[in-house]
């Protein structure tokens, strides 16, 4: 069936900010969908609140709304745009939920809008627990037995029915609090009681336990003619009990017989037909008993998902693109497989390699969080790796994670002494982010596969492979003996490489550095060969050049003779380095191609647009280590390599690349070094006559102590060369400093610690600028909402600045130009300043793309990353038509989004260590509107009535804070506060109720928050060590989704937003309209 | 132990043995299924062939007596990228390597199977020798060149049953069940299981069984099974098939389909590298419905050679538009090139067994009238 011609205008719903469980994979799927719709000639309207996405680039749709993804706003957009249809299946759970809500509210009916992909009924069959259970039973399949209980007796009755063991899941608690597994009738009542207690509604779900079963997933697609294809199977390495987002995953499944496989396929077909997907894909999760043929259906997602992004990259099959085409009426036999270029999409992909996905955790950001993984997802990113064997893919996967490991141990990063068996067994039994390395220790201790299986339930097939690797280390060591790497025979070295051992590991095993291994390899002619990801296992001659490395006979590398530019991606997402950098890399690739060069992308993050099959001319899915990148450089021989856009990842290997003669485009690595090296940087500032907060570097506690004494507390301390404020802290006394020095030295042993005078109550400012080496143009000056001391990635910020004088802004621009010129920047740079008492201090300079580049680009309509790429290729800014800062008539606010709800009990206080996972943008005619929208988009539902709770640190009882309280009171809010703050407010003439602190007896403030008596919490930390009750207030507010503000400046902004929410109506406007206001024109969609 | 596969065009791929020592010639082909190596090994249609799996990790789930398509492996040799000696699956009764040794099969691992596959894809399926133990590569190439190849050869006689027997496994046959006579050209047991499970009483007869003899058992229908090699190699079967037409409903699968085409006056030809895998999209022309099918054939019926006044083209392969199914316009005769019984592969096309039953029902009703 051909595409539908009765549709003209389609509304796409995006997924909003990057949060745990909903990452940048939805930019990948959404961008592909936008492209597919544009390709078919539809008019595309898009809503997404996340400015860091490629999909919200004005060229990806006709009408782009960067607005909060809530029903009220979408209805406004529908009323304004009158689309024929809405496509909600590519925007993650956010898009799906809001789409269902709109259906229930009758919005589609009211405006005559059709839902494409999967109708709301199908969505609700998949999403509603009861409907889902019935649907699955109806088609002859099984879900885990379960029942709801409100009392212990009810729970016991359910257990009678489904048998033990059972999982007890309290309703409406986050992160699995109060949940447990009951194994016998004796312990069950107590565990039920505990669960019921933990649930605010005294309700638990009692569910048949399939913990320890195999977790198998399938990606399935169906068209409107009822044709169904399987895209791939996936097998979780971690057994049931670990969220699939946190589990290591392989594709395809490894331990299923053909008969097992066919049964799963048969089940998938029944399910997708029952759910009624009429044009799109679903993700289906099963649990399979490892000891029988029992299979239960766990979950069905009738939409594009994280797994489907992984499946797309794992097979080369562009699921999102195809899903979109199917949604508008095409059938699978009409959609060409763009990867092969000569088969249609109903040819199921078949692969001839193994794919390994590893999850990237950031527990180090949340030291108070329990370092375990379970059914609630905690990872913030992932890496994917490809090898011809599991062993190869697995080791590449571990070094792709950028956790300082270069493979499965044997890289000099393991503890000198093996942990004892007790410690190892404990780490094996309770899943955690380090477990994989403990499996190696287990084998080193002489434990066998059965023992490790019993503890971990990781399938023995995987364990066998891991054991082989652990044993092979010894073989290498023995072969090297005293002779080092030269003594290792070629065959053995080849085997090591084909099992994924990095040069770094081999160096460690042979007692030399990785460069010695590299030169020995070259001497022996051992280079990687590149194989194609072609969806067909070599059966047809595929056209899309998507490669991975392996060590085999035949190299399929298609490096051309043309002029090429390699762009280094950012690796797995983590806190501090996310989608913003991928956005920049994609722009670089597209621009490089526009400029007539071939773009070659290297990255290992499957969630990204940069690794999409049509972003670059050639894609290498490889770890971002010096070894792997150099191999590609040697195969491709590029004109230049772009390091500026991949965040800290490429900079970490910049020196190694330059030492190996790799031509770097743009700002030199010498300049990068000056900016990152405190001493050199200090000298530079001195030369330029710019001020810095007093500072110094220290390599020991004693040194740091002396410095602190000289500078005076509080001081800001941090390791050098880190991103996202890793281990950065404000330190108020000697004791804290000592504690920090142990932590920090651990965080980065080879680099010294930086000690800065902390500028209290300063306004922080971010500047993004672009330079061609001749002139420097300011992209934007961003004023932070939160004061200096809160990491710039966690602070809200606004363009244009709202409280800075013109003189200060001019001064900042002038300093930025001076720095750019001194560092000979070619490309983009980011500078952070603090403004205190009318004085401008330079905090830091990053001569690379910052995470605000996409925000600035969206706010000002200037594609900074693309222009920067052009300057790196030799264009002048004058040629490019950008010679002065663009001024905008609207206001744009960026707000951060935090993962606190995933880590129960941790302190949510903001500080110099970045904790946010994503961001949103609010745009409006004035600050109040823009900030209000940003808050809504970030999930902070600012109240328009109710009680505001104040608890201010002594230093925060300022006139500004008093005005905030006064404004709330004047708008009809009731005020309450703990003793000190209450007295202060009353002294200021405000009516204020006093509430108990936690230790003052009940009911206290936490009780009041739990009882939903507080609409807004304004709680500024009391400095130094947060008090226990402050932590309780903040974490309880987060868990209850009660908006909480932790800085006075934040409160000042919030009160303006609340006024807008009370008095004005939220209006919507497209990015294209704003761009026309600013520039007079807007680029047309890129087809 | 060293192992290698040497091709007639001089390419040699060396690896390690994980089967028995020895040397064997055959045509080298590749299969793109990601699971189902045991089904592939025991599929009699692979007689005369050395099979390489494009999926690189083989042996992962061991072997099981439930997953066989005949009494033992039929391939001449087996080539993989990485063999796993430590299987994991609750049904596994042993490792693949032990199984191959037990059945005297030569197997080689550590081969760049993707390179081998791409070579076959561009140069075509060709004669080869697989060896394990001591060998000289040049000699192997020479032996490959002097080996007989598949064209015109009768491989059916090597895999057909010696005498007829009743199929019992998975039996659902009740009184009044359809009686199907299966011509065994190297039948996959799953075809017999599917017939049995759908309630048929199954008698398997040797390939050389005369039509008159088969018809004398008063079957409701005749199934012409899959089998190895070139259909032109078994002219004696084609003759008998001709005799069966119009007498009883006939259902041909794979080689059975090709033999039927020959009996109907069509011609077959050799494909460059064949269709072997579990992901081939086939379109049924009347309904437009697409099934994802399991396939294993190196020869193919020439669509142009069929008399389309007599024969209707019912199915085509969407990848290369070759013939995948046909039926006689007057007589109760149908056939498909692919494997509706799956194994290893999807079960989309199992409905064809139902269709065969309908044909037999129609025939009974016609007789009753």
Confidence of residue A746 (pLDDT cuts 50, 70, 90): low
Does A256 contact chain B (CB < 8 Å)?
Answer: yes
Cβ pair A815, A829 in contact under 8 A: no
**pLDDT tens digits, one per residue of A69-92:** 999 999 999 999 999 999 999 988
Q: Are residues B37 and B81 in the same domain?
A: yes
User: B118, A554: Cβ pair inside 8 Å?
Assistant: yes
In a domain, B288, yes or no: yes
Task: Tell me which residue in B35, B121, B318 faces A258 most closely, judged by beta carbons.
Answer: B35
Which residues, other chains included, contact A677 with Cβ-Cβ below 8 Å and sequence gap of 6+?
A: A720
Highest mean pLDDT among A360-374, A387-401, A838-852: A387-401
Which residues of chain B lie closer than 8 angstroms to A348, CB-CB?
A: 278-279, 281, 292
Name the 3-class secondary structure at A229: strand
A343–chain B Cβ distance below 8 A for any pair: yes
pLDDT of residue A725: 65
Confidence of residue A119 (pLDDT cuts 50, 70, 90): confident
Q: What confidence score (pLDDT) does residue A761 get? A: 84
Is cis: bond before B368, omega within 30 of 0? no
Residue bearing the bigger pLDDT, B27 or A1087: B27
CATH of the domain at B256: 3.40.50.880
Contacts of B13 in chain A (CB under 8 A): 553
| DSSP of B269-301 | EEEEEEEEEEEEEEEETTT--EEEEEEEEEEEE
- What is the spatial distance between Cα A931 and Cα A948, in angstroms, rounded to a whole number? 19
Parallel, antiparallel or unpaired: strands B106-109 and B77-79: parallel
Query: Which of A227, A258, A554 shows the shortest C-beta gap to B290?
Result: A227
Question: What is the nearest CA distance from A301 to chain B, expressed in angstroms?
Answer: 23
Question: How far is the C-alpha of A554 from the C-alpha of A606, rounded, in Å?
Answer: 26
Higher pLDDT, B330 or A788: B330
Residues of A in contact with B64 (CB under 8 A): 257
Identify all chain B residues contacting A541, using CB atoms and an 8 Å cutoff.
121
Nearest-Cα distance to chain A for B227, in Å, is 21
Residues B228 and B95 in one domain: no
Q: What is the mean pLDDT of chain A?
A: 92
> Rounded to whole angstroms, how far apart are CA atoms B367 and B369?
5
CA distance B212 to chain A (A): 38
Residue B313 lies in a domain: yes
Residue A536 pairs with which residues in a beta bridge? A350
Q: What is the mean pLDDT of residues A363-383?
A: 88
Inspect the interface and report whether the beta carbons of A262 and B88 lie closer than 8 Å.
Answer: no
Q: Which residues of B252-285 are buried (b: 16+ CB within 10 A; e: fewer)?
A: bbbbbbbbbbbbbebebebeebbbbbbbbbbbbe
For residue B116, the domain's CATH number is 3.50.30.20
pLDDT value at A393 more than 80: yes
Whether residues B203 and B247 fall in one domain: yes
| pLDDT at A750 (0 to 100) | 63
* Whether B115 and B83 share a structural domain: yes
* Residues B46 and B99 grouped into a single domain: yes
Tally of CB atoms within 10 A around A451 = 17
194-233 in chain A: CB under 8 A from chain B: 225-230
Please indicate whether, in this complex, the C-beta atoms of B32 and A536 are within 8 angstroms of each other: yes
Question: Catalytic annotation on B351?
Answer: no
Identify the pLDDT of residue A738. Answer: 86
Between chain A and chain B, how many beta carbons pairs sit less than 8 Å apart? 160
The stretch A613-633 carries a mean pLDDT of 96
Inter-chain contact A537–B60, Cβ cutoff 8 Å?
no
For residues A892-913, average pLDDT: 85
Instruction: Tell me whether residue B20 is in a domain.
Output: yes
Across the interface, of A260, A352, A539, the residue whose CB is closest to B121 is: A539
Contacts of B318 in chain A (CB under 8 A): 333, 344, 346-347
Domains and CATH numbers, chain A: 9-116 (3.40.50.20), 127-139+211-349 (3.30.470.20), 146-208 (3.30.1490.20), 386-510 (1.10.1030.10), 562-667 (3.40.50.20), 694-755 (3.30.1490.20), 920-924+926-1063 (3.40.50.1380)
**Facing residues of A763 across strands?**
A787, A835
**Containing structural domain, residue B104:** 2-146
Residue B69 lies in a domain: yes
Beta bridge partners of A356: A250, A385
Query: Are B123 and B161 members of one domain?
Result: no
Q: Among the listed ranges A100-104, A747-751, A1000-1004, A1079-1083, which one has the minimum average pLDDT value?
A: A747-751
Q: Which residues of B touch A554 (CB under 8 A)?
A: 112, 114-115, 118
Tell me the per-residue pLDDT of A210-263, one tens digit each, with 9 for 90 and over: 999 999 999 999 999 999 999 999 999 999 999 999 999 999 999 999 999 999
Band of the pLDDT at A747, cuts 50, 70, 90?
very low
On whether both B235 and B302 belong to a single domain, the answer is yes
Of A227, A343, A556, the CB nearest to B319: A343
Same structural domain for residues B99 and B208?
A: no
CA of B124: which chain A residue's CA is closest?
A539
One of B254, B257, B294, B324 is an active-site residue; which one?
Answer: B254
Residue B132 lies in a domain: yes
Q: What is the pTM of this model?
A: 0.95
* B88/A459 Cβ within 8 A: yes
On whether residue B291 sits in a domain, the answer given is: yes
CA distances from A798 to A584, A776, A895 (A): 21, 22, 9
Of B126, B146, B166, the one marking the end of a domain is B146
Q: Mean pLDDT throughout A1006-1029?
A: 82
Consecutive 10-residue runs of chain B (369 residues): their mean pLDDT?
97 97 97 96 97 98 95 97 97 97 98 97 96 96 95 95 90 80 97 93 96 95 97 95 95 98 96 94 92 95 96 95 96 97 85 94 85
Evaluate if residue A1024 carries a pLDDT over 80: no
Asked if A388 has any chain B CB less than 8 Å from its own CB, the reply is yes
Note if B315 is an active site residue.
no
> Contact A992/A985 with Cβ under 8 angstroms?
yes
Burial class (CB in 10 A: 0-12, 13-18, 19+), A818: middle
Q: Which of B111, B146, B181 is the last residue of a domain?
A: B146
Residue B151 falls within a domain, yes or no? no
- Would the CB atoms of A265 and B346 count as touching at under 8 Å? yes
Among the candidates B146, B172, B187, a domain finishes at: B146
Please report the pLDDT score of residue A779 as a whole number. Answer: 97
* Contact (Cβ atoms closer than 8 angstroms) between residue A74 and residue A92: no
Say if the ipTM goes beyond 0.85: yes
pLDDT class of A292 with cuts at 50, 70, 90? very high
Using the beta-carbon criterion (under 8 Å), do B114 and A254 form an inter-chain contact? no
Instruction: Report CA A809 to chain centroid distance, whole Å.
Output: 32
Give the 3-state secondary structure of B53-80. Answer: ECCCEECCCCECHHHCCCCCCCCCEEEC
Q: What is the pLDDT of residues A750-785, one digit of tens each?
A: 667 888 899 988 999 999 999 999 999 999 999 999
Residue A457 pLDDT greater than 90, yes or no = yes
Same domain, B129 and B181: no
Q: Scanning every residue of chain A, which has its alpha carbon at the shortest distance from the alpha carbon of B118? A: A538
Asked whether residue B292 falls in the same domain as residue B318, the answer is yes
pLDDT above 50: residue A131: yes
Q: B142 with B54, same domain?
A: yes
Instruction: With CA atoms as reference, report the closest residue to A993 among A1011, A1019, A1020, A1013.
Output: A1013
Chain B residue closest to A254 (CA)? B60
Which among B6, B27, B25, B13 is positioned nearest to B297, based on CA atoms?
A: B27
Edge-to-edge order in the sheet of strand A381-387: A295-301, A280-288, A214-222, A228-236, A249-251, A354-360, A381-387
CB hemisphere CA count around A181 (13 angstroms): 10
List chain A residues with CB under 8 Å of B61.
Answer: 255-257, 260, 461
Q: Is the pLDDT of residue A1022 over 80?
A: no
Q: Which range in A686-690, A706-710, A740-744, A898-902 is most confidently predicted, on average pLDDT? A: A686-690
Tell whether the model's pLDDT for residue A715 goes beyond 80: yes
Assess whether B110 and B195 both reside in one domain: no
- Among the listed ranges A4-8, A333-337, A724-728, which one has the minimum average pLDDT value? A724-728
DSSP-derived 3-state class of residue A31: helix
Is B341 tagged catalytic? yes
Give the number of domains in chain B.
2
Name the more confident of A1064 and A533.
A533
Substitution target in A449, A539, A553 with the highest count of B β-carbons within 10 Å is A539
Chain A interface mutation, best of B31, B59, B64, B88, highest count of A Cβ atoms under 10 Å: B88
């Amino acid at each position: 069936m051909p595409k539908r011609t009765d549709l003209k205008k389609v509304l796409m719903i995006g997924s909003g900010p990057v949060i745990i469980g909903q990452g940048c994979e939805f930019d990948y799927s959404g961008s592909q969908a936008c492209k597919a719709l544009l390709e078919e000639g539809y008019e595309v309207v898009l809503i997404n609140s996340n400015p860091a996405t490629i999909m919200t680039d004005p060229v990806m749709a006709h009408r782009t709304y960067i607005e909060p993804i809530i029903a009220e706003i979408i209805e406004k957009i529908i009323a304004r745009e009158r689309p024929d249809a809405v496509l909600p299946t590519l925007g993650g759970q956010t898009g799906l939920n809001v789409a269902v809500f709109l259906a229930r509210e009758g919005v589609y009916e009211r405006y005559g809008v059709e839902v494409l992909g999967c109708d709301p009924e199908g969505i609700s069959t998949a999403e509603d627990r009861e409907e889902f259970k019935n649907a699955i039973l109806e088609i002859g399949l099984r879900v885990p037995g379960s029942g709801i209980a409100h009392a212990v007796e009810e729970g016991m009755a359910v257990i009678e029915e489904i048998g033990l063991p059972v999982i007890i899941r309290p309703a409406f608690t986050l992160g699995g609090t109060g949940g447990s597994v009951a194994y016998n009738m004796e312990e069950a009542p107590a565990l039920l009681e505990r669960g019921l207690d933990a649930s605010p509604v005294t309700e638990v779900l009692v569910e048949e336990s399939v913990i320890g079963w195999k977790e198998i997933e399938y990606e399935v697609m169906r068209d409107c003619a009822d044709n169904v294809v399987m895209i791939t199977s996936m097998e979780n390495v971690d057994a049931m009990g670990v969220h699939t987002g946190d589990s290591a995953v392989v594709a395809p499944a490894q331990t299923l017989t053909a008969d097992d496989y066919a049964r799963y396929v048969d089940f998938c077909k029944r399910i997708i037909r029952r759910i009624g997907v009429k044009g799109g894909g679903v993700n289906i999760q099963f649990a399979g008993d490892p000891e029988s043929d029992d299979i239960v259906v766990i979950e069905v997602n009738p939409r594009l998902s994280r797994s489907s992004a992984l499946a797309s990259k794992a097979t080369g099959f562009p699921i999102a693109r195809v899903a979109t085409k199917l949604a508008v009426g095409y059938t699978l036999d009409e959609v060409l497989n763009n990867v092969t270029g000569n088969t249609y999409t109903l040819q199921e992909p078949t692969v001839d390699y193994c794919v390994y996905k590893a999850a990237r955790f950031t527990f180090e950001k949340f030291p108070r969080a329990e370092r375990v993984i379970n059914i609630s997802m905690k990872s913030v990113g992932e890496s994917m790796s490809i090898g011809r064997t599991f062993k190869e893919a697995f080791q590449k996967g571990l070094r792709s994670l950028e956790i300082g490991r270069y493979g499965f141990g044997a890289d000099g990063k393991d503890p000198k002494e093996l942990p004892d068996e007790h410690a190892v067994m404990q780490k094996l039994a309770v899943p955690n982010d380090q477990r994989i390395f403990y499996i190696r220790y287990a084998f080193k201790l002489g434990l066998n596969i059965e023992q490790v299986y019993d503890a971990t339930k990781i399938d023995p097939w995987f364990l066998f492979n891991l054991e082989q690797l652990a044993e092979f280390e010894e073989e290498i060591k023995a072969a090297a003996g005293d002779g080092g790497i030269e003594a290792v025979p070629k065959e053995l070295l080849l085997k090591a490489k084909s099992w994924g051992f990095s040069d770094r590991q081999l160096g460690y095993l042979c007692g030399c550095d990785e460069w010695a291994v590299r030169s020995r390899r070259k001497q022996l002619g051992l280079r990687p060969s590149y194989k194609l990801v072609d969806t067909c296992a070599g059966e047809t001659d595929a056209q899309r050049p998507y490669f991975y490395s392996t060590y085999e006979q035949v190299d399929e590398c298609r490096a051309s003779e043309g002029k090429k530019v390699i762009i280094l991606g950012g690796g797995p997402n983590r806190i501090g380095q996310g989608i913003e950098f991928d956005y920049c890399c994609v722009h670089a690739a597209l621009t490089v191609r526009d400029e007539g060069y071939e773009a070659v992308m290297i990255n290992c993050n499957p969630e990204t647009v940069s690794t999409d099959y049509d972003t670059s001319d050639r894609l290498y899915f490889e770890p971002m280590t010096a070894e792997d990148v150099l191999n590609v450089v040697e195969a491709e021989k590029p004109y230049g390599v772009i390091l500026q856009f991949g965040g800290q990842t490429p900079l970490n290997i910049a020196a190694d690349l330059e030492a190996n003669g790799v031509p770097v485009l743009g700002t030199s690595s010498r300049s990068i070094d000056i900016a990152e090296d405190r001493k050199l940087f200090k000298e530079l500032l001195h030369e330029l006559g710019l001020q810095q907060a007093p500072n110094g570097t220290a390599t020991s506690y004693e040194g740091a102590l002396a410095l602190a004494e000289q500078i005076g507390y509080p001081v800001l301390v941090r390791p050098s060369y880190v991103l996202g404020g890793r281990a950065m802290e404000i330190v108020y006394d000697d004791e804290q400093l000592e504690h920090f020095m142990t932590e920090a030295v651990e965080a980065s042993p080879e680099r010294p610690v930086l000690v800065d005078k902390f500028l209290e109550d300063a306004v922080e400012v971010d500047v993004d600028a672009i330079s061609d080496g001749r002139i420097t143009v300011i992209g934007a000056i961003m004023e932070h909402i939160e004061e200096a001391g809160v990491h710039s990635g966690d602070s809200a910020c606004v363009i244009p600045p709202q409280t800075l004088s013109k003189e200060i802004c001019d001064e900042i621009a002038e300093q930025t130009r001076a720095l750019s010129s001194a560092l000979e920047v070619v490309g983009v740079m980011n500078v952070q300043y603090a403004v205190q008492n009318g004085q401008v201090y330079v905090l830091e300079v990053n001569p690379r793309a910052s995470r605000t580049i996409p925000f600035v680009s969206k706010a000002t309509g200037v594609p900074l990353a693309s222009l920067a790429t052009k300057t790196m290729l030799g264009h002048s800014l004058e040629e490019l038509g950008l010679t002065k800062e663009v001024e905008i008539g609207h206001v744009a606010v960026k707000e951060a989004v935090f993962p606190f709800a995933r880590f129960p009990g941790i302190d949510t206080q903001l500080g110099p260590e970045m904790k946010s996972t994503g961001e949103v943008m609010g745009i409006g005619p004035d600050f109040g509107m823009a900030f209000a929208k940003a808050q809504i988009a970030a999930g902070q539902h600012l109240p328009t009535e109710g009680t505001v709770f104040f608890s201010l640190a002594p230093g925060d009882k300022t006139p500004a804070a008093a005005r905030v309280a006064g404004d709330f009171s004047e708008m009809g809010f009731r005020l309450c506060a703990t003793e000190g703050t209450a007295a202060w407010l009353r002294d200021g003439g405000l009516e204020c109720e006093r509430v108990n602190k936690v230790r003052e007896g009940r009911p206290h403030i936490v009780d009041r928050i739990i009882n939903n008596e507080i609409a807004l919490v304004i709680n500024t930390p009391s400095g130094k060590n947060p008090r226990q009750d402050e932590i309780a207030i903040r974490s309880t507010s987060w868990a209850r989704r009660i908006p909480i503000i932790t800085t006075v400046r934040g409160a000042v902004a919030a009160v303006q937003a609340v006024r807008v929410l009370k008095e004005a109506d939220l209006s919507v406007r497209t990015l294209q309209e704003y761009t026309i206001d600013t520039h007079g024109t807007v680029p047309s969609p890129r087809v | 132990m060293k192992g290698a596969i040497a091709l007639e065009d001089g390419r040699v791929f060396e690896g390690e043995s994980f089967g028995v020592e020895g040397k064997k010639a055959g045509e080298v082909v590749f299969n793109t299924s990601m699971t189902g190596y045991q089904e592939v090994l025991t599929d009699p249609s692979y007689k005369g062939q050395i099979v390489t799996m494009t999926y690189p990790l083989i042996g992962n789930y061991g072997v099981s007596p439930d997953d066989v398509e005949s009494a033992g492996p039929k391939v001449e040799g087996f080539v993989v990228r990485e063999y796993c000696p430590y299987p994991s699956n609750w049904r596994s009764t042993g490792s693949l390597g032990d199984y191959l040794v037990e059945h005297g099969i030569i197997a080689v691992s550590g081969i760049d199977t993707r390179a081998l596959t791409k070579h076959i894809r561009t140069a075509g399926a060709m004669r080869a020798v697989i060896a394990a133990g001591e060998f000289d590569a040049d000699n192997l190439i020479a032996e490959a060149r002097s080996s007989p190849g598949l064209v015109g050869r009768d491989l059916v006689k090597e895999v057909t049953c010696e005498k007829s027997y009743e199929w019992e496994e998975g039996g659902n046959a009740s009184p009044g069940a359809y009686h199907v006579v299966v011509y065994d050209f190297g039948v996959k047991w799953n075809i017999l299981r599917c017939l049995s499970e759908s309630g048929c009483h199954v008698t398997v007869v040797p390939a050389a069984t005369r039509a008159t003899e088969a018809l004398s058992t008063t079957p409701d229908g005749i199934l012409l099974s899959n089998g190895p090699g070139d259909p032109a190699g078994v002219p004696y079967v084609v003759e008998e098939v001709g005799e069966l037409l119009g007498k009883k409903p006939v259902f041909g699968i794979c080689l059975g389909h090709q033999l039927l085409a020959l009996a109907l006056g069509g011609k077959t030809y050799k494909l460059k590298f064949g269709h072997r895998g579990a992901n081939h999209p086939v379109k049924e022309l009347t309904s437009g419905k697409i099934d994802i099918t399991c396939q294993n054939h190196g020869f193919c019926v020439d669509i142009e050679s069929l008399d389309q006044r007599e024969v209707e083209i019912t199915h085509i392969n969407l990848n290369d538009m070759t013939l995948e199914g046909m039926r006689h316009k007057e007589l109760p005769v149908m056939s498909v090139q692919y494997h509706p019984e799956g194994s290893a592969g999807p079960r989309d096309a199992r409905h064809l067994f139902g269709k065969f039953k309908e044909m037999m029902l129609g025939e009974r009703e016609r007789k009753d009238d």
